[in-house]
Chain A
Protein backbone atom coordinates (compact mmCIF):
# COMPACT_ATOMS: atom_id res chain seq x y z
CA UNK A 1 0.00 0.00 0.00
CA UNK A 2 2.73 2.39 0.95
CA UNK A 3 5.05 4.08 -1.51
CA UNK A 4 8.22 5.91 -0.62
CA UNK A 5 8.27 9.57 -1.59
CA UNK A 6 11.47 11.54 -1.57
CA UNK A 7 9.62 14.69 -0.39
CA UNK A 8 8.36 12.82 2.67
CA UNK A 9 11.93 12.08 3.65
CA UNK A 10 12.98 15.66 2.97
CA UNK A 11 10.27 17.04 5.22
CA UNK A 12 11.15 14.56 7.98
CA UNK A 13 14.85 15.38 7.72
CA UNK A 14 14.08 19.09 7.91
CA UNK A 15 11.93 18.44 10.96
CA UNK A 16 14.65 16.37 12.60
CA UNK A 17 17.24 19.10 11.92
CA UNK A 18 14.88 21.71 13.42
CA UNK A 19 14.62 19.61 16.59
CA UNK A 20 18.29 18.63 16.88
CA UNK A 21 20.29 21.62 15.62
CA UNK A 22 19.86 23.83 18.72
CA UNK A 23 21.13 21.03 20.95
CA UNK A 24 24.08 20.25 18.65
CA UNK A 25 25.04 23.92 18.72
CA UNK A 26 24.77 23.94 22.52
CA UNK A 27 26.96 20.86 22.83
CA UNK A 28 29.57 21.94 20.29
CA UNK A 29 29.83 25.39 21.87
CA UNK A 30 30.49 23.74 25.22
CA UNK A 31 33.61 22.10 23.76
CA UNK A 32 35.25 25.45 22.94
CA UNK A 33 36.90 27.91 25.29
CA UNK A 34 35.17 31.07 26.46
CA UNK A 35 37.33 33.51 24.50
CA UNK A 36 36.85 31.90 21.11
CA UNK A 37 33.08 31.72 21.62
CA UNK A 38 33.10 35.38 22.64
CA UNK A 39 35.00 36.29 19.45
CA UNK A 40 33.37 33.96 16.93
CA UNK A 41 29.88 33.31 18.25
CA UNK A 42 28.26 29.93 18.90
CA UNK A 43 30.01 26.97 17.34
CA UNK A 44 28.92 24.04 15.23
CA UNK A 45 32.20 22.14 15.20
CA UNK A 46 34.18 20.23 17.79
CA UNK A 47 36.42 22.54 19.80
CA UNK A 48 38.66 20.14 21.71
CA UNK A 49 38.06 21.68 25.15
CA UNK A 50 35.44 19.14 26.16
CA UNK A 51 37.17 17.82 29.27
CA UNK A 52 38.33 21.30 30.40
CA UNK A 53 34.82 22.75 30.27
CA UNK A 54 33.03 19.81 31.81
CA UNK A 55 35.50 19.19 34.61
CA UNK A 56 35.32 22.91 35.40
CA UNK A 57 31.53 23.05 35.63
CA UNK A 58 31.28 19.75 37.50
CA UNK A 59 33.94 20.22 40.14
CA UNK A 60 34.77 23.90 40.59
CA UNK A 61 32.59 25.96 42.86
CA UNK A 62 32.80 29.35 41.28
CA UNK A 63 32.42 30.47 37.73
CA UNK A 64 28.67 30.55 37.79
CA UNK A 65 27.44 30.25 41.31
CA UNK A 66 30.42 30.67 43.62
CA UNK A 67 28.95 28.26 46.15
CA UNK A 68 27.84 25.19 44.33
CA UNK A 69 29.43 22.86 41.80
CA UNK A 70 27.70 21.33 38.81
CA UNK A 71 28.06 17.98 40.51
CA UNK A 72 26.04 19.13 43.53
CA UNK A 73 23.33 20.50 41.24
CA UNK A 74 23.29 17.19 39.36
CA UNK A 75 22.86 15.38 42.69
CA UNK A 76 20.01 17.70 43.73
CA UNK A 77 18.27 17.20 40.38
CA UNK A 78 18.60 13.46 40.82
CA UNK A 79 17.11 13.63 44.34
CA UNK A 80 14.22 15.73 43.06
CA UNK A 81 13.55 13.52 40.02
CA UNK A 82 13.79 10.20 41.87
CA UNK A 83 12.15 11.41 45.08
CA UNK A 84 9.25 12.88 43.19
CA UNK A 85 8.74 9.81 40.97
CA UNK A 86 9.03 7.26 43.80
CA UNK A 87 6.98 9.28 46.28
CA UNK A 88 4.26 9.89 43.75
CA UNK A 89 4.03 6.24 42.71
CA UNK A 90 3.83 4.91 46.28
CA UNK A 91 1.30 7.46 47.48
CA UNK A 92 -0.90 7.30 44.42
CA UNK A 93 -0.89 3.50 44.21
CA UNK A 94 -2.07 3.23 47.81
CA UNK A 95 -4.79 5.84 47.27
CA UNK A 96 -5.97 4.29 44.01
CA UNK A 97 -6.05 0.86 45.66
CA UNK A 98 -8.29 2.17 48.43
CA UNK A 99 -10.61 3.90 45.99
CA UNK A 100 -11.02 1.00 43.57
CA UNK A 101 -10.93 -2.04 45.87
CA UNK A 102 -12.64 -0.96 49.10
CA UNK A 103 -16.20 -0.21 50.06
CA UNK A 104 -16.31 2.49 52.74
CA UNK A 105 -18.64 5.34 53.69
CA UNK A 106 -16.53 8.33 52.64
CA UNK A 107 -15.30 6.77 49.41
CA UNK A 108 -16.86 9.16 46.95
CA UNK A 109 -15.99 12.18 49.10
CA UNK A 110 -12.30 11.16 49.20
CA UNK A 111 -12.40 10.53 45.47
CA UNK A 112 -13.63 14.04 44.72
CA UNK A 113 -11.24 15.72 47.13
CA UNK A 114 -8.30 14.01 45.45
CA UNK A 115 -9.44 14.52 41.89
CA UNK A 116 -10.22 18.18 42.46
CA UNK A 117 -6.44 18.67 42.38
CA UNK A 118 -6.45 17.87 38.68
CA UNK A 119 -8.35 21.10 38.17
CA UNK A 120 -5.69 23.56 39.29
CA UNK A 121 -2.02 23.54 38.33
CA UNK A 122 0.53 24.67 40.90
CA UNK A 123 1.16 27.88 38.97
CA UNK A 124 -2.20 29.42 39.82
CA UNK A 125 -1.89 28.89 43.59
CA UNK A 126 1.81 29.56 43.73
CA UNK A 127 1.91 32.46 46.21
CA UNK A 128 -0.15 30.90 49.02
CA UNK A 129 1.63 27.55 48.51
CA UNK A 130 4.91 29.35 48.97
CA UNK A 131 3.71 31.05 52.15
CA UNK A 132 2.44 27.81 53.65
CA UNK A 133 5.67 25.96 52.94
CA UNK A 134 7.59 28.89 54.38
CA UNK A 135 5.36 28.87 57.47
CA UNK A 136 6.03 25.16 57.94
CA UNK A 137 9.78 25.84 57.86
CA UNK A 138 10.29 23.73 54.76
CA UNK A 139 12.23 26.30 52.74
CA UNK A 140 15.58 25.04 51.45
CA UNK A 141 14.89 21.39 52.15
CA UNK A 142 14.35 18.38 49.95
CA UNK A 143 10.96 17.70 51.50
CA UNK A 144 9.81 21.26 50.77
CA UNK A 145 10.99 20.75 47.22
CA UNK A 146 9.36 17.38 46.63
CA UNK A 147 6.26 16.89 48.79
CA UNK A 148 4.13 19.87 47.61
CA UNK A 149 4.70 18.82 44.00
CA UNK A 150 3.16 15.42 44.77
CA UNK A 151 -0.16 17.06 45.68
CA UNK A 152 -1.55 16.75 42.16
CA UNK A 153 -3.51 13.55 41.60
CA UNK A 154 -2.28 12.66 38.10
CA UNK A 155 -0.64 9.44 39.34
CA UNK A 156 -3.70 8.40 41.32
CA UNK A 157 -5.83 8.95 38.26
CA UNK A 158 -3.62 6.75 36.06
CA UNK A 159 -3.51 3.92 38.62
CA UNK A 160 -7.25 4.11 39.17
CA UNK A 161 -7.83 3.68 35.44
CA UNK A 162 -5.44 0.76 35.37
CA UNK A 163 -6.84 -1.00 38.46
CA UNK A 164 -10.34 -0.72 37.04
CA UNK A 165 -9.17 -2.67 33.98
CA UNK A 166 -7.85 -5.55 36.11
CA UNK A 167 -10.35 -8.45 35.93
CA UNK A 168 -12.64 -8.87 38.96
CA UNK A 169 -12.06 -12.63 38.93
CA UNK A 170 -8.62 -12.08 40.43
CA UNK A 171 -10.07 -10.60 43.62
CA UNK A 172 -12.64 -13.35 43.84
CA UNK A 173 -9.99 -16.02 43.42
CA UNK A 174 -7.77 -14.33 45.98
CA UNK A 175 -10.63 -14.15 48.47
CA UNK A 176 -11.56 -17.78 47.99
CA UNK A 177 -7.93 -18.64 48.66
CA UNK A 178 -8.15 -16.63 51.84
CA UNK A 179 -5.84 -13.78 50.84
CA UNK A 180 -6.48 -10.50 52.64
CA UNK A 181 -6.24 -7.04 51.09
CA UNK A 182 -2.55 -6.57 51.93
CA UNK A 183 -1.55 -9.93 50.49
CA UNK A 184 -3.63 -9.32 47.36
CA UNK A 185 -2.00 -5.93 46.84
CA UNK A 186 1.59 -7.10 47.28
CA UNK A 187 1.38 -10.52 45.64
CA UNK A 188 -1.04 -9.89 42.79
CA UNK A 189 -1.73 -6.24 42.05
CA UNK A 190 1.81 -4.83 42.25
CA UNK A 191 3.34 -7.51 39.99
CA UNK A 192 0.47 -7.00 37.52
CA UNK A 193 1.15 -3.27 37.44
CA UNK A 194 4.86 -3.55 36.65
CA UNK A 195 4.72 -2.07 33.14
CA UNK A 196 2.35 0.63 34.29
CA UNK A 197 4.67 1.50 37.19
CA UNK A 198 7.65 1.68 34.83
CA UNK A 199 5.84 3.93 32.38
CA UNK A 200 4.61 6.28 35.11
CA UNK A 201 8.04 6.28 36.72
CA UNK A 202 9.63 7.52 33.50
CA UNK A 203 7.04 10.24 32.95
CA UNK A 204 7.23 11.40 36.57
CA UNK A 205 11.03 11.34 36.69
CA UNK A 206 11.22 13.63 33.66
CA UNK A 207 8.47 15.83 35.11
CA UNK A 208 10.19 16.13 38.49
CA UNK A 209 13.66 16.69 37.05
CA UNK A 210 12.33 19.48 34.82
CA UNK A 211 10.54 21.47 37.54
CA UNK A 212 11.48 25.14 37.49
CA UNK A 213 9.06 27.58 39.11
CA UNK A 214 8.62 25.73 42.40
CA UNK A 215 12.36 25.10 43.01
CA UNK A 216 13.03 28.74 42.07
CA UNK A 217 10.81 29.88 44.93
CA UNK A 218 11.62 27.23 47.52
CA UNK A 219 15.40 27.03 47.23
CA UNK A 220 17.26 30.25 47.86
CA UNK A 221 20.27 28.46 49.33
CA UNK A 222 22.50 27.53 46.40
CA UNK A 223 23.47 24.18 47.89
CA UNK A 224 19.88 23.05 47.18
CA UNK A 225 19.85 24.25 43.56
CA UNK A 226 18.91 21.77 40.88
CA UNK A 227 20.39 22.13 37.39
CA UNK A 228 17.12 23.30 35.88
CA UNK A 229 16.56 25.81 38.68
CA UNK A 230 20.18 26.94 38.20
CA UNK A 231 19.48 28.07 34.61
CA UNK A 232 18.31 31.48 35.84
CA UNK A 233 21.51 32.09 37.86
CA UNK A 234 23.66 30.78 35.04
CA UNK A 235 22.12 33.32 32.70
CA UNK A 236 22.48 36.15 35.26
CA UNK A 237 26.20 35.46 35.71
CA UNK A 238 26.60 35.08 31.97
CA UNK A 239 25.09 38.54 31.36
CA UNK A 240 27.20 40.13 34.06
CA UNK A 241 30.55 38.75 32.97
CA UNK A 242 33.20 40.65 30.99
CA UNK A 243 34.01 37.67 28.82
CA UNK A 244 30.94 35.50 29.36
CA UNK A 245 31.70 31.81 29.76
CA UNK A 246 29.18 30.71 27.19
CA UNK A 247 30.88 27.32 26.91
CA UNK A 248 30.22 26.62 30.59
CA UNK A 249 26.63 27.85 30.42
CA UNK A 250 26.01 25.51 27.50
CA UNK A 251 27.77 22.64 29.29
CA UNK A 252 25.38 23.03 32.24
CA UNK A 253 22.42 23.15 29.84
CA UNK A 254 23.65 19.89 28.29
CA UNK A 255 24.04 18.31 31.73
CA UNK A 256 20.54 19.49 32.68
CA UNK A 257 18.97 17.74 29.70
CA UNK A 258 21.10 14.60 29.57
CA UNK A 259 19.50 12.28 32.19
CA UNK A 260 15.85 12.87 31.17
CA UNK A 261 16.76 12.63 27.49
CA UNK A 262 18.59 9.33 28.04
CA UNK A 263 15.66 7.93 30.02
CA UNK A 264 13.16 8.93 27.34
CA UNK A 265 15.23 7.53 24.47
CA UNK A 266 16.19 4.26 26.17
CA UNK A 267 12.70 3.51 27.48
CA UNK A 268 10.98 5.05 24.48
CA UNK A 269 8.32 2.42 23.96
CA UNK A 270 7.26 2.30 27.63
CA UNK A 271 7.29 6.03 27.79
CA UNK A 272 5.13 6.52 24.68
CA UNK A 273 2.74 3.79 25.82
CA UNK A 274 2.45 5.32 29.29
CA UNK A 275 1.88 8.78 27.90
CA UNK A 276 -0.73 7.82 25.32
CA UNK A 277 -2.54 5.21 27.42
CA UNK A 278 -2.70 7.29 30.56
CA UNK A 279 -4.32 10.24 28.81
CA UNK A 280 -7.28 8.16 27.75
Chain B
Protein backbone atom coordinates (compact mmCIF):
# COMPACT_ATOMS: atom_id res chain seq x y z
CA UNK B 1 0.00 0.00 0.00
CA UNK B 2 0.97 3.63 0.30
CA UNK B 3 3.67 4.90 2.63
CA UNK B 4 1.54 7.91 3.47
CA UNK B 5 -2.07 7.27 4.31
CA UNK B 6 -4.99 9.16 5.73
CA UNK B 7 -6.27 8.12 9.12
CA UNK B 8 -9.94 8.76 9.67
CA UNK B 9 -12.13 6.60 11.88
CA UNK B 10 -15.24 6.68 9.69
CA UNK B 11 -14.46 7.77 6.18
CA UNK B 12 -12.94 4.56 4.74
CA UNK B 13 -16.00 2.58 5.81
CA UNK B 14 -18.33 5.09 4.22
CA UNK B 15 -16.34 4.93 1.00
CA UNK B 16 -16.47 1.15 1.03
CA UNK B 17 -20.10 0.87 2.08
CA UNK B 18 -21.76 0.89 -1.37
CA UNK B 19 -19.38 -1.71 -2.75
CA UNK B 20 -19.60 -3.92 0.33
CA UNK B 21 -23.41 -3.75 0.36
CA UNK B 22 -23.66 -4.80 -3.27
CA UNK B 23 -21.07 -7.53 -2.86
CA UNK B 24 -22.80 -8.80 0.27
CA UNK B 25 -26.32 -8.88 -1.15
CA UNK B 26 -25.66 -9.88 -4.73
CA UNK B 27 -22.53 -11.94 -4.43
CA UNK B 28 -21.86 -13.53 -1.07
CA UNK B 29 -25.47 -14.26 -0.24
CA UNK B 30 -26.26 -16.02 -3.56
CA UNK B 31 -22.93 -17.87 -3.57
CA UNK B 32 -23.59 -19.13 -0.03
CA UNK B 33 -27.14 -20.00 -1.03
CA UNK B 34 -25.85 -22.04 -4.00
CA UNK B 35 -23.55 -24.01 -1.72
CA UNK B 36 -26.32 -24.52 0.86
CA UNK B 37 -28.98 -25.67 -1.58
CA UNK B 38 -26.58 -28.05 -3.28
CA UNK B 39 -26.89 -30.21 -0.16
CA UNK B 40 -30.69 -30.15 -0.12
CA UNK B 41 -33.43 -31.75 -2.15
CA UNK B 42 -36.05 -29.13 -2.85
CA UNK B 43 -39.66 -30.21 -3.11
CA UNK B 44 -40.83 -29.24 -6.61
CA UNK B 45 -44.14 -27.96 -5.22
CA UNK B 46 -42.43 -25.78 -2.65
CA UNK B 47 -43.16 -27.87 0.46
CA UNK B 48 -39.80 -27.47 2.16
CA UNK B 49 -36.55 -29.26 1.52
CA UNK B 50 -34.64 -32.23 2.89
CA UNK B 51 -30.95 -32.47 3.67
CA UNK B 52 -29.42 -35.07 1.37
CA UNK B 53 -25.68 -34.61 1.90
CA UNK B 54 -23.63 -35.19 -1.21
CA UNK B 55 -26.46 -36.93 -3.11
CA UNK B 56 -26.91 -34.06 -5.57
CA UNK B 57 -23.23 -34.18 -6.40
CA UNK B 58 -23.09 -37.93 -6.88
CA UNK B 59 -26.31 -37.79 -8.91
CA UNK B 60 -24.86 -35.10 -11.15
CA UNK B 61 -21.43 -36.64 -11.53
CA UNK B 62 -22.69 -40.16 -12.25
CA UNK B 63 -25.49 -39.31 -14.69
CA UNK B 64 -24.73 -40.12 -18.32
CA UNK B 65 -26.36 -36.84 -19.31
CA UNK B 66 -23.85 -34.88 -17.26
CA UNK B 67 -20.96 -36.94 -18.59
CA UNK B 68 -21.87 -36.26 -22.22
CA UNK B 69 -22.38 -32.55 -21.49
CA UNK B 70 -19.00 -32.41 -19.77
CA UNK B 71 -17.37 -34.20 -22.71
CA UNK B 72 -18.88 -31.76 -25.19
CA UNK B 73 -17.86 -28.79 -23.02
CA UNK B 74 -14.29 -30.07 -23.01
CA UNK B 75 -14.18 -30.50 -26.80
CA UNK B 76 -15.96 -27.19 -27.39
CA UNK B 77 -13.59 -25.33 -25.05
CA UNK B 78 -10.49 -26.96 -26.52
CA UNK B 79 -11.43 -26.30 -30.16
CA UNK B 80 -12.72 -22.76 -29.59
CA UNK B 81 -9.59 -21.84 -27.63
CA UNK B 82 -7.21 -23.46 -30.09
CA UNK B 83 -8.68 -21.93 -33.24
CA UNK B 84 -9.33 -18.45 -31.88
CA UNK B 85 -5.80 -18.28 -30.44
CA UNK B 86 -4.04 -19.57 -33.55
CA UNK B 87 -6.01 -17.45 -36.03
CA UNK B 88 -5.44 -14.38 -33.85
CA UNK B 89 -1.73 -15.11 -33.52
CA UNK B 90 -1.31 -15.50 -37.28
CA UNK B 91 -3.16 -12.25 -37.95
CA UNK B 92 -1.27 -10.38 -35.22
CA UNK B 93 2.11 -11.47 -36.57
CA UNK B 94 1.12 -10.34 -40.06
CA UNK B 95 -0.39 -7.08 -38.83
CA UNK B 96 2.84 -6.40 -36.94
CA UNK B 97 5.01 -6.98 -40.00
CA UNK B 98 3.24 -4.87 -42.64
CA UNK B 99 3.81 -1.15 -42.94
CA UNK B 100 1.14 -0.01 -45.35
CA UNK B 101 -2.41 -0.13 -44.03
CA UNK B 102 -1.30 -1.39 -40.59
CA UNK B 103 -3.78 0.71 -38.63
CA UNK B 104 -6.66 -0.07 -41.01
CA UNK B 105 -6.06 -3.79 -40.63
CA UNK B 106 -5.90 -3.35 -36.87
CA UNK B 107 -9.28 -1.62 -36.75
CA UNK B 108 -10.91 -4.10 -39.14
CA UNK B 109 -9.68 -7.08 -37.14
CA UNK B 110 -10.60 -5.87 -33.65
CA UNK B 111 -13.99 -4.17 -33.89
CA UNK B 112 -16.00 -7.41 -33.66
CA UNK B 113 -15.00 -7.39 -29.98
CA UNK B 114 -17.92 -5.01 -29.42
CA UNK B 115 -20.59 -7.40 -30.74
CA UNK B 116 -22.56 -9.28 -28.09
CA UNK B 117 -22.44 -13.11 -28.23
CA UNK B 118 -26.22 -13.51 -28.80
CA UNK B 119 -26.11 -10.97 -31.64
CA UNK B 120 -23.29 -12.99 -33.20
CA UNK B 121 -25.44 -16.06 -32.54
CA UNK B 122 -28.45 -14.62 -34.34
CA UNK B 123 -26.44 -13.67 -37.42
CA UNK B 124 -24.70 -17.05 -37.35
CA UNK B 125 -27.99 -18.95 -37.16
CA UNK B 126 -29.26 -17.03 -40.19
CA UNK B 127 -26.03 -17.66 -42.16
CA UNK B 128 -26.32 -21.40 -41.48
CA UNK B 129 -30.11 -21.49 -41.98
CA UNK B 130 -31.74 -24.38 -43.82
CA UNK B 131 -33.54 -22.17 -46.35
CA UNK B 132 -31.83 -18.81 -46.59
CA UNK B 133 -28.30 -19.42 -45.31
CA UNK B 134 -25.45 -18.91 -47.77
CA UNK B 135 -23.05 -20.98 -45.64
CA UNK B 136 -25.42 -23.93 -45.66
CA UNK B 137 -25.65 -23.56 -49.43
CA UNK B 138 -21.87 -23.42 -49.71
CA UNK B 139 -21.52 -26.57 -47.59
CA UNK B 140 -24.08 -28.17 -49.92
CA UNK B 141 -21.81 -27.47 -52.89
CA UNK B 142 -19.08 -29.42 -51.11
CA UNK B 143 -21.51 -32.28 -50.61
CA UNK B 144 -22.18 -31.60 -46.93
CA UNK B 145 -25.88 -31.60 -46.10
CA UNK B 146 -25.69 -29.36 -43.05
CA UNK B 147 -28.61 -29.52 -40.63
CA UNK B 148 -28.19 -27.14 -37.72
CA UNK B 149 -30.38 -28.03 -34.76
CA UNK B 150 -31.01 -31.55 -36.06
CA UNK B 151 -27.60 -33.09 -36.53
CA UNK B 152 -25.42 -33.13 -33.38
CA UNK B 153 -22.15 -32.66 -35.21
CA UNK B 154 -23.41 -29.87 -37.50
CA UNK B 155 -24.86 -27.95 -34.57
CA UNK B 156 -21.59 -28.24 -32.65
CA UNK B 157 -19.68 -27.09 -35.75
CA UNK B 158 -21.89 -24.01 -36.08
CA UNK B 159 -21.45 -23.11 -32.38
CA UNK B 160 -17.69 -23.39 -32.59
CA UNK B 161 -17.44 -21.28 -35.75
CA UNK B 162 -19.48 -18.47 -34.18
CA UNK B 163 -17.60 -18.70 -30.87
CA UNK B 164 -14.25 -18.49 -32.65
CA UNK B 165 -15.39 -15.56 -34.80
CA UNK B 166 -16.42 -13.66 -31.69
CA UNK B 167 -13.20 -14.40 -29.79
CA UNK B 168 -10.50 -13.75 -32.41
CA UNK B 169 -10.51 -9.92 -31.91
CA UNK B 170 -9.61 -9.85 -28.21
CA UNK B 171 -6.82 -12.38 -28.72
CA UNK B 172 -5.62 -10.33 -31.67
CA UNK B 173 -5.48 -7.16 -29.54
CA UNK B 174 -3.39 -8.85 -26.84
CA UNK B 175 -1.05 -10.65 -29.22
CA UNK B 176 -0.44 -7.51 -31.23
CA UNK B 177 0.36 -5.45 -28.15
CA UNK B 178 2.60 -8.30 -26.98
CA UNK B 179 4.43 -8.32 -30.30
CA UNK B 180 4.84 -4.57 -30.29
CA UNK B 181 6.50 -4.69 -26.90
CA UNK B 182 9.21 -7.10 -28.12
CA UNK B 183 12.32 -4.87 -28.05
CA UNK B 184 13.60 -3.73 -31.46
CA UNK B 185 17.17 -4.66 -30.52
CA UNK B 186 16.19 -8.30 -30.04
CA UNK B 187 14.40 -8.39 -33.37
CA UNK B 188 17.39 -6.88 -35.14
CA UNK B 189 19.86 -9.22 -33.47
CA UNK B 190 17.70 -12.17 -34.48
CA UNK B 191 17.47 -10.91 -38.04
CA UNK B 192 21.26 -10.75 -38.28
CA UNK B 193 21.71 -14.24 -36.85
CA UNK B 194 19.01 -16.03 -38.75
CA UNK B 195 17.67 -15.50 -42.24
CA UNK B 196 14.64 -17.75 -42.05
CA UNK B 197 11.63 -15.72 -40.92
CA UNK B 198 9.73 -18.79 -39.79
CA UNK B 199 12.60 -20.05 -37.66
CA UNK B 200 13.10 -16.60 -36.20
CA UNK B 201 9.45 -16.56 -35.21
CA UNK B 202 9.46 -19.94 -33.47
CA UNK B 203 12.79 -19.52 -31.67
CA UNK B 204 12.69 -15.84 -30.70
CA UNK B 205 9.29 -14.17 -30.99
CA UNK B 206 7.11 -17.10 -29.92
CA UNK B 207 8.89 -17.71 -26.59
CA UNK B 208 8.72 -13.99 -25.85
CA UNK B 209 4.96 -14.11 -26.46
CA UNK B 210 4.50 -17.13 -24.19
CA UNK B 211 3.42 -15.13 -21.10
CA UNK B 212 0.74 -13.35 -23.15
CA UNK B 213 -0.27 -16.70 -24.60
CA UNK B 214 -0.67 -18.38 -21.21
CA UNK B 215 -2.66 -15.47 -19.93
CA UNK B 216 -4.93 -15.56 -23.00
CA UNK B 217 -5.35 -19.31 -22.60
CA UNK B 218 -7.08 -18.78 -19.26
CA UNK B 219 -9.17 -15.90 -20.64
CA UNK B 220 -10.26 -18.09 -23.55
CA UNK B 221 -11.14 -21.08 -21.40
CA UNK B 222 -13.29 -18.84 -19.19
CA UNK B 223 -14.89 -17.36 -22.30
CA UNK B 224 -15.70 -20.75 -23.83
CA UNK B 225 -17.13 -22.00 -20.54
CA UNK B 226 -19.28 -19.02 -19.58
CA UNK B 227 -19.61 -16.21 -22.07
CA UNK B 228 -20.66 -18.40 -24.99
CA UNK B 229 -24.05 -18.89 -23.30
CA UNK B 230 -25.67 -16.36 -25.63
CA UNK B 231 -24.30 -18.04 -28.75
CA UNK B 232 -25.40 -21.50 -27.65
CA UNK B 233 -28.85 -20.29 -26.63
CA UNK B 234 -29.44 -18.69 -30.03
CA UNK B 235 -28.06 -21.60 -32.05
CA UNK B 236 -30.33 -23.99 -30.14
CA UNK B 237 -33.27 -21.63 -30.69
CA UNK B 238 -34.45 -22.46 -27.17
CA UNK B 239 -34.91 -26.14 -28.13
CA UNK B 240 -32.03 -28.13 -26.64
CA UNK B 241 -33.48 -31.56 -27.61
CA UNK B 242 -30.58 -33.86 -28.42
CA UNK B 243 -28.27 -31.03 -29.34
CA UNK B 244 -24.92 -30.41 -27.69
CA UNK B 245 -24.95 -28.06 -24.67
CA UNK B 246 -22.24 -26.83 -22.33
CA UNK B 247 -22.12 -27.24 -18.55
CA UNK B 248 -23.26 -23.67 -17.87
CA UNK B 249 -26.20 -24.11 -20.20
CA UNK B 250 -27.13 -27.25 -18.30
CA UNK B 251 -27.09 -25.38 -14.98
CA UNK B 252 -29.53 -22.93 -16.53
CA UNK B 253 -31.74 -25.66 -18.06
CA UNK B 254 -31.95 -27.82 -14.94
CA UNK B 255 -32.50 -24.85 -12.65
CA UNK B 256 -34.98 -22.79 -14.65
CA UNK B 257 -36.70 -25.29 -16.91
CA UNK B 258 -36.34 -28.53 -14.96
CA UNK B 259 -36.90 -26.91 -11.55
CA UNK B 260 -34.22 -29.16 -10.10
CA UNK B 261 -32.86 -26.65 -7.62
CA UNK B 262 -30.54 -28.98 -5.72
CA UNK B 263 -29.09 -30.58 -8.84
CA UNK B 264 -28.56 -27.25 -10.52
CA UNK B 265 -26.88 -25.84 -7.41
CA UNK B 266 -24.60 -28.87 -7.14
CA UNK B 267 -23.55 -28.29 -10.75
CA UNK B 268 -22.98 -24.61 -9.95
CA UNK B 269 -20.73 -25.56 -7.06
CA UNK B 270 -18.73 -27.90 -9.31
CA UNK B 271 -18.28 -25.04 -11.78
CA UNK B 272 -17.31 -22.71 -8.93
CA UNK B 273 -14.49 -25.06 -7.99
CA UNK B 274 -13.38 -25.17 -11.62
CA UNK B 275 -13.35 -21.37 -11.92
CA UNK B 276 -11.59 -21.13 -8.59
CA UNK B 277 -8.74 -23.30 -9.84
CA UNK B 278 -8.55 -21.36 -13.12
CA UNK B 279 -8.42 -18.03 -11.30
CA UNK B 280 -5.63 -19.17 -9.02
CA UNK B 281 -3.64 -20.33 -12.04
CA UNK B 282 -4.34 -16.96 -13.65
CA UNK B 283 -3.09 -14.99 -10.65
CA UNK B 284 0.06 -17.11 -10.57
CA UNK B 285 0.63 -16.34 -14.24
CA UNK B 286 0.12 -12.62 -13.73
CA UNK B 287 2.78 -12.69 -11.03
CA UNK B 288 5.09 -14.53 -13.42
CA UNK B 289 4.33 -11.99 -16.14
CA UNK B 290 5.32 -9.13 -13.89
CA UNK B 291 8.52 -11.04 -13.22
CA UNK B 292 9.35 -11.23 -16.91
CA UNK B 293 9.19 -7.49 -17.40
Contacts and interface: CB of A to CB of B under 8 A. Distances in A.
B25 A132 contact: yes
B22 A91 contact: yes
B255 A95 contact: no
B95 interface: yes
A8 B229 CA distance: 34
Interface string B265-293: 10010011001100100000010011000
Nearest to B216: A279
Interface stretch (A50-58, A99-107, A191-199): A99-107
Contact of A260 (B16, B98, B114, B121): B114
Interface residues of A, number: 104
B22 A124 contact: no
B119 A256 contact: yes
Interface in A190-241: 206, 209-213, 216-217, 228, 231-232, 234-236, 239
Nearest to B9: A104
Contact of A280 (B12, B252, B286): B286
B132 A37 contact: yes
Nearest to B261: A127
Given A128-B34, A148-B26, A95 B19 contact: yes
Prevailing SS type, chain A contact patch = helix
Given A19-B168, A101-B5, A260-B115, A125 B30 contact: yes
Interface stretch (B51-59, B122-130, B152-160): B122-130
Given A102-B7, A156-B19, A41 B134 contact: yes
Interface in A1-51: 1-2, 4-5, 8-9, 11-12, 15-16, 18-20, 22-23, 25-26, 29, 37-38, 41-42
A203 to B, nearest CB: 10
B155 to A, nearest CB: 15
B94 A124 contact: no
Interface residues on B, range: 35 or more
A175 B120 CA distance: 52
A41 B131 contact: yes
Contacts of B119: 210, 228, 231, 253, 256-257
Nearest to B255: A127
B132 A210 contact: no
B279 A107 contact: no
A181 to B, nearest CB: 5
Interface in B17-55: 18-20, 22-31, 33-34, 37
B105 to A, nearest CB: 5
B22 A4 contact: no
Interface stretch (B60-68, B69-77, B201-209, B232-240): B232-240
A94 interface: yes
A249 B126 contact: yes
27 contacts: A9-B98, A25-B134, A26-B123, A26-B126, A42-B129, A102-B7, A103-B5, A104-B12, A113-B24, A114-B23, A124-B271, A125-B27, A126-B268, A129-B30, A131-B33, A133-B26, A168-B2, A181-B8, A213-B229, A217-B256, A228-B230, A235-B125, A235-B237, A246-B126, A257-B115, A265-B111, A268-B107
Interface of B: 1-9, 11-13, 15-16, 18-20, 22-31, 33-34, 37, 87, 90-91, 94-95, 97-101, 105, 107-127, 129, 131-134, 137, 165, 168-170, 173-174, 177, 184, 187-188, 191, 215, 222, 226, 229-230, 233-234, 237-238, 248, 251-252, 255-256, 261, 264-265, 268, 271-272, 275-276, 279, 286, 289-290
